[in-house]
Structure 1
Amino acid sequence: MTENNSPDSSAGAEQSSVEVGDRVTVGVDRPAHGGEGIAQLPDGRIVFVRGGLPGDVLRVEITKVKKRFTAARIIDVVQSSPHRVGQRCPAAARGAGCCDYGHVAPASEDELKRAVLLDQLRRIGRLGDDLPAVESIPLEPVTGWRTRVRLGVDATGHAGTRIAGSHYLLSIPCMQALPGMLDGIVGPGSARFTPGAELIVAVDSTGARHVVESRRAARGRRTEAIRRTLEGSGVCTEKVGEHTYHLPATAFWQAHEKAPETFTATVRSWLTGALDHAADAETDAPAASVGWDLYGGAGLFAPALLDVLRDSSGRADASVISVEQSRMAAECGRAALAELPVEFRTGEVAAEVPQLPAPSAVVLDPPRIGAGTETVSAIAAAHPAAVIHVGCDPATFARDIAAWYSSGYHLSRLAVAGAFPGTHHLEAFGLLVPDAR
């Protein structure tokens, strides 16, 4: 191992490249996607430091060396960033991978996440400086907000949160969970469960707790099958506005307790303004008013989309088509919204879009991998007057937004929602409208 105490990158070109195990002092310049900070090594190369924050001066150990970048872990904080506080999550403080922003002051999270989103849009999306200002959609509370938790179960039957980069578990409650949500499940004196199972704990909008076991899914995938119901009915009741959804505890639902109401209010507000503006510019009203709710899940956004279409067009025959790959989610939505003119179609969005009637407005909330250029192009070809694109990964969101720009649309509004406090994750909202013709 070698020591390099110089934080000055100006002399770096004359020094040899670092190797794994070397320790150096660096200053963090800006945040990176994934909960890392970006600094510069004495040899001039970029280093990604997990947990590093802008303004930090850190002693780090090199853990990976690649041709174009390096990675490092923190050995010591020489000088703290103004964004840095003590780790607020007891599980993350012991190494759990849950709250990788638990050491970030809550007031600083929004600033850092907006910076990350803009960086991704400019660097990956290759979009210029004419982007709209990034708005904030705050969600409270910032601790005790999560209504759904997925836990591992170790060989002894104890449930816990996985240590970062490991299969090992910590039986320490995370600060994200609703107060009391994990009582008797995680921690001293907790119950025992089936070794190797995935444990899902959900608290629905009635306050009922549901505890079910499922099999562990492959990374990046979700399993919806319930093997055993241990507490509650296993079917969550979620009320949003005038509508009530009943869906299994394993099904996708927004994790933050305030997200469903906040997100639907955002869709309603943004689309109302966009369609009113579009109506002022049009001389002929559309023959029908149809909305697309793509990757629609159980149809959370469909009622808001329908309300806006009815108000903007003045047509009683306005309708929404929701496309969702999960048959179970579509069935839940169909039951919840049975009294509304919302048609649920099950299938791949890319395959369904060419078969749909032309829309006035579209809302799409694709999974982490994004919608992709082909799907974005197909939607744009139908010429909607307004589109709200929601993304939970800033990199794939940036690629999708670039595809919109290539298809004749541009961002009219852009926002980051604080839907995942204490973590690097963010929810991005983009309002896209056609370029002037």
Structure 2
Amino acid sequence: MSLIEPLTVRAERMVAGGDAMARLEDGRVAFVTGALPGEEVEVEVRNDRKDFVKATVTEVLEPSPDRVVPTCPHRREGCGGCGWMHFDTDAQIAAKVGIVSESLRRVGRFDADEVERVVAVGGAVDPYGYRTTIRLVGMPGGGVGFREERSDEVVPIDHCQVAHENLSQVLRSVSVAPGVELTLRTSAATNGVTARWTRPEDRKRRNEKRRSNAPAGESVSGLPADVHIGDRAFLVEQVDGVNLQVSAPSFFQAGPAGAELLVDAVRRAAPELADADHAVDAYGGVGLFAATVMRSARRVTLIESARSSCFDAKENLKHRAGQGDKSVEIVRSDMGDWKPGDDIDPIDVVVADPARPGLAKPGVAAVMRMDAPVVVLVSCDPVSLARDARLLVDEGYRMESVEVFDLFPQTPHVECVTRFVRN
């Protein structure tokens, strides 16, 4: 069956991924981009499947009271960076809590009463100016832009409302060759800026090492003189009163305000860290949690697979060097491959902050090998959280609390901090 004519549907609720869910007359589910709960909308089907369809709003017939006009002209022109900018910011966090709860019920198969008991609303960052890292695409003539939603087309921009002002200043001067992807990062603490980029030909060589520090004249020009360029460039950000080195290729949160919220949430989720003998920072990155909430632990093991992040973590944890040979160990390894040695001290708390796919079975197996009585999981995807929570509970842990944060306002992205205790 192929749906050609526009359809009229009524959206029911927001779902993981950022679309609204509706139902067709034939009983199938429709995932509608651009709709809000309760709205009657006319949609155009872009993907017609046997059990569901994916569609896009073409006209809002009955708008929700939570619908607003996007303040950003680039979003109104099709920029895909802020897919929820038509959604009132006060309503976004409630929708994200609903998405997390629904994922735990449907994907994690947790009882509705249990979900209601454990899920709580956390904090949110300021809805504008919060991002300290952005990725741009070069356009003909040297301009830059962001890609359209679900498209390779690029929308030209000259500023970004959710980006830190330091980055918007760079946007006004930089020139980027067509197809080149430029990543800019700034420090809210020092105002330093780093830049690295990849060219289309680099991205095609997936089996070769990608170069991101080609001569500026070839790909990027107009960067201010004080911008640090390439993979070896780094800046210093401050979180929880701690200075953290962050290299250009290393992962870091969208901004220090979000990192502060996560550090505070992990501290509350694992008060045992205050006097832990041994804590593990799994998927530890540059050492955000190891350097902050784990600073009083007698021993810290950080596990991370990325070379640049391990390099940063060594710098960020070097203050522990005088506390004994076993005070800190930084292990470069995929989480699923790491096994604690026979002589390792018993682990009291594991804090795991995996990428969007979550722990999955290899990560959960690694956590089980650690045999820690407390596990804190930092998740950036509600579906992977629900799946990981079910795996951990099936292995003998109890889910005690889930705190939901909005660290990416104007987008459907959601962050959660979940506490598990071994039965």
TM-score normalised over the length of structure 1: 0.84
Matches of 2:210 and 2:88 in 1, distance apart?
Answer: 34
Q: Note if 1:102 corresponds to 2:85.
A: yes
**C-alpha deviation, 1:36, in angstroms:** 0.4
The verdict on how the C-alpha distance between 1:308 and 1:271 changes in structure 2, with shifts beyond 3 A counting, is: farther
CA offset digits 1:227-277 (Å, max 9, x no partner):
3574422421112234322232232111123022221121112211x679x
User: Superposition pairs for residues 358-377 of structure 1, below 5 Å?
Assistant: 358-377=346-365
The answer for unaligned runs of 5 or more in structure 1 is 1-16, 280-287, 310-317
Q: Note if 1:306 corresponds to 2:294.
A: yes
Matches of 1:24 and 1:387 in 2, distance apart?
Answer: 47
1:213 corresponding residue in structure 2: 197
**C-alpha deviation, 1:308, in angstroms:** 5.7
Matches of 2:365 and 2:127 in 1, distance apart?
Answer: 37
**C-alpha deviation, 1:80, in angstroms:** 0.9
Counterpart selection for 1:420 from 393, 408, 422: 408
Matches of 1:112 and 1:119 in 2, distance apart?
Answer: 10
Does the CA contact (< 8 Å) of 1:271 and 1:308 recur in 2?
Answer: no
Q: Secondary structure at the match of 2:294?
A: helix
Matches of 2:296 and 2:266 in 1, distance apart?
Answer: 9
Matches of 1:191 and 1:259 in 2, distance apart?
Answer: 27
Counterpart selection for 1:28 from 7, 11, 27: 11
Matches of 1:332 and 1:68 in 2, distance apart?
Answer: 47
**C-alpha deviation, 1:140, in angstroms:** 2.8
Q: Which amino acid aligns with 1:327?
A: R
Q: Note if 1:297 corresponds to 2:281.
A: no
Matches of 1:211 and 1:326 in 2, distance apart?
Answer: 19
The verdict on how the C-alpha distance between 1:327 and 1:250 changes in structure 2, with shifts beyond 3 A counting, is: closer
Give identity over the alignment, percent. 28
Counterpart selection for 1:407 from 384, 391, 395: 395
Q: Note if 1:118 corresponds to 2:118.
A: no
Does the CA contact (< 8 Å) of 1:377 and 1:407 recur in 2?
Answer: no
Q: Which amino acid aligns with 1:332?
A: D
Counterpart selection for 2:307 from 327, 341, 349: 327
2:161 corresponding residue in structure 1: 175
CA offset digits 1:383-423 (Å, max 9, x no partner):
21211101111111111111111111121110111110000
Does the CA contact (< 8 Å) of 1:197 and 1:213 recur in 2?
Answer: yes
1:152 corresponding residue in structure 2: 137
CA offset digits 1:116-135 (Å, max 9, x no partner):
11111111111222123422
Q: Which amino acid aligns with 2:196?
A: V
Q: Secondary structure at the match of 1:398?
A: helix
Task: Report how many residues are paired.
Answer: 395
Q: Note if 1:392 corresponds to 2:380.
A: yes
Does the CA contact (< 8 Å) of 1:416 and 1:428 recur in 2?
Answer: yes
Does the CA contact (< 8 Å) of 2:398 and 2:420 recur in 1?
Answer: yes
The verdict on how the C-alpha distance between 1:218 and 1:368 changes in structure 2, with shifts beyond 3 A counting, is: farther
Q: Secondary structure at the match of 2:338?
A: helix
CA offset digits 1:317-337 (Å, max 9, x no partner):
x11100000111111111121
Q: Which amino acid aligns with 2:144?
A: A
Q: Note if 1:260 corresponds to 2:259.
A: yes
**C-alpha deviation, 1:362, in angstroms:** 0.4
User: Superposition pairs for residues 347-362 of structure 1, below 5 Å?
Assistant: 347-355=333-341, 357-362=345-350
Does the CA contact (< 8 Å) of 2:247 and 2:309 recur in 1?
Answer: no
CA offset digits 1:189-234 (Å, max 9, x no partner):
x432233221122111212233333346869x99784435744224
The answer for unaligned runs of 5 or more in structure 2 is 217-222, 321-326
Larger Rg: 1
2:59 corresponding residue in structure 1: 76
Does the CA contact (< 8 Å) of 2:262 and 2:417 recur in 1?
Answer: no
Matches of 1:123 and 1:357 in 2, distance apart?
Answer: 38
- RMSD over aligned Cα atoms: 2.4
Matches of 1:79 and 1:47 in 2, distance apart?
Answer: 18
The verdict on how the C-alpha distance between 1:332 and 1:191 changes in structure 2, with shifts beyond 3 A counting, is: closer
Does the CA contact (< 8 Å) of 1:417 and 1:428 recur in 2?
Answer: yes
Most deviating of 221-230 and 173-182: 221-230
Counterpart selection for 1:44 from 14, 27, 30: 27
Q: Which amino acid aligns with 1:291?
A: A
Q: Which amino acid aligns with 2:65?
A: P
Q: Secondary structure at the match of 2:237?
A: strand
The verdict on how the C-alpha distance between 1:357 and 1:156 changes in structure 2, with shifts beyond 3 A counting, is: farther
The verdict on how the C-alpha distance between 1:163 and 1:430 changes in structure 2, with shifts beyond 3 A counting, is: same
The verdict on how the C-alpha distance between 1:133 and 1:252 changes in structure 2, with shifts beyond 3 A counting, is: same
Matches of 1:223 and 1:254 in 2, distance apart?
Answer: 23
Q: Which amino acid aligns with 1:260?
A: A
Q: Note if 1:163 corresponds to 2:148.
A: yes
